[in-house]
Structure formats: C-alpha cells, structure tokens
Amino acid sequence: MDGTLSNSPRHLLKVQWSDTVSAAPASAWGRGRYAIETIGVGPRSTSSGTDLPGHLLTNVNYSMRISQVDVSLGIYNLFNQRHYSATSLEIRDDALRQDGRTFRVKLTYAF
C-alpha cells in the first residue's frame, strides 16, 4: 500500500466570478448579480482501490431583488458532466453516480 487515502484527490480547483448586471430601467429583471463557478476534482481512488477519474463542474447563478423578494435562479453542472463520488464503507457500491444538470429557483421574502 502506498499510503494514499481513499477519496482524497491530489488536486482541487475552485474559481468563482461574480458581477452586477445593469439592465434597462424599464426591464422586469431590473438590476441583479450573476455568478459563475468552476470546481475541479482530480483523480482519486475508492476504499477498495478502484480509480475514479477527475472532473470539472460549472455552476451559474443569477440573483435579483423584486420588491421585498430575493429571487435566485441557478443551473448546476451546466455542461451535464457525469461523474462519480467515492462512498464510505457503509454503502455497498464503491462509487455513486452524481446528478447531471439541475436547476434551482429560490424565493426569499423579507419582512
């Protein structure tokens, strides 16, 4: 055994960018913020020694305030990358396939 821990990649990457969007004053979307995030995970092995390849995921989010409601729209795993995560010893499978592209709408009311 080479002393490498399971589910422990040698390389991790996280890059984020966020900025404001200025739309026309009459626009229903008003002024909001967008954010782009890329997360990279290098190759790693499972507890039984199976090698999992590395992957890159990109997430996009747009948020704005309409009256007293914060609205957030997000797309996670934008490019629909199929990847696996290593599991613990309590789960029979060595790795679990993760979700593809997902969408989220979040409304928060302030009072």
Q: What is the mean pLDDT of residues 46-70?
A: 91
Burial class (CB in 10 A: 0-12, 13-18, 19+), 97: exposed
Q: Which residue from 79, 34, 73 is spatially nearest to 56, judged by alpha carbons?
A: 79
pLDDT band, very low/low/confident/very high, at 24 (cuts 50, 70, 90): low
pLDDT at 49 over 70: yes
Residue-level pLDDT at 100: 92
How sure is the predictor about 40, in pLDDT bands with cuts at 50, 70 and 90?
Answer: very high
Which two structure tokens, joined as six digits, stand for 12?
């991790």
The residue type at 60: V
The answer to whether the CB of 53 falls within 8 A of the CB of 40 is no
Q: Quick one: pLDDT at residue 1?
A: 47
Which of 16-30, 35-49, 76-90 comes out lowest in average pLDDT?
16-30
Three-state SS letters, 10-75: CCEEEEEEEEEEECCCCCCCCEEEEEEEEEEECCEECCCCCEECCEEEEEEEEEEEECCEEEEEEE
